[in-house]
Amino acid sequence: MDTIFTLLMVLVMIASVLLVIIVMAQNPKGGGLSSTFGGASSAQFGVQRTNDFMEKATWTLGGTIIVLILLSVVITGKPSQAAATQQQPAKKEAPAKKSAPASSTTTTAPVSTPAAPAK
């Protein structure tokens, strides 16, 4: 199970580095929120094929990272039987009551307690 988790984390790191590279390589002019709020629209000049590829690659890598992380949580999220028993608190047993020591002579008469003196 550790090897699968390690493999998934390596894939997440590779996808993250690729995502950073693709985002940094994108042309910031005329895209995103700047075109919505008064910037030059990219439709005026035509959309280049590289921008489409970069956008698709960004969404694909982002989705891949999310899927890999969720997959790693599903795979490693279930505790094993040994871990589940270790996490449960140990049941405390009541201490055994001490029995009176057995005397060598046994009496059959009940033992009476002296009465409290009257005031």
Instruction: Say if 90 falls within a structural domain.
Output: no
Instruction: Say if 87 falls within a structural domain.
Output: no
Angle CA 21–23–28, to nearest 5: 130
Domain enclosing residue 70, as ranges: 49-75
Reported as a single tens digit per residue, the pLDDT across 50-105 is 778 888 999 999 999 999 999 999 988 766 555 556 666 656 666 666 666 665 55
Query: For residue 29, what pLDDT is reported?
Result: 64
Within 13 Å and on the Cβ side, how many CA atoms surround 109?
3
Integer Cα distance of 45 and 35 in angstroms: 13
The pTM of the full predicted model, rounded to 2 decimals, is 0.50
The total number of structural domains that make up the chain: 1
Instruction: Say if 118 falls within a structural domain.
Output: no
Integer Cα distance of 7 and 68 in angstroms: 10
Residue type, 106: T
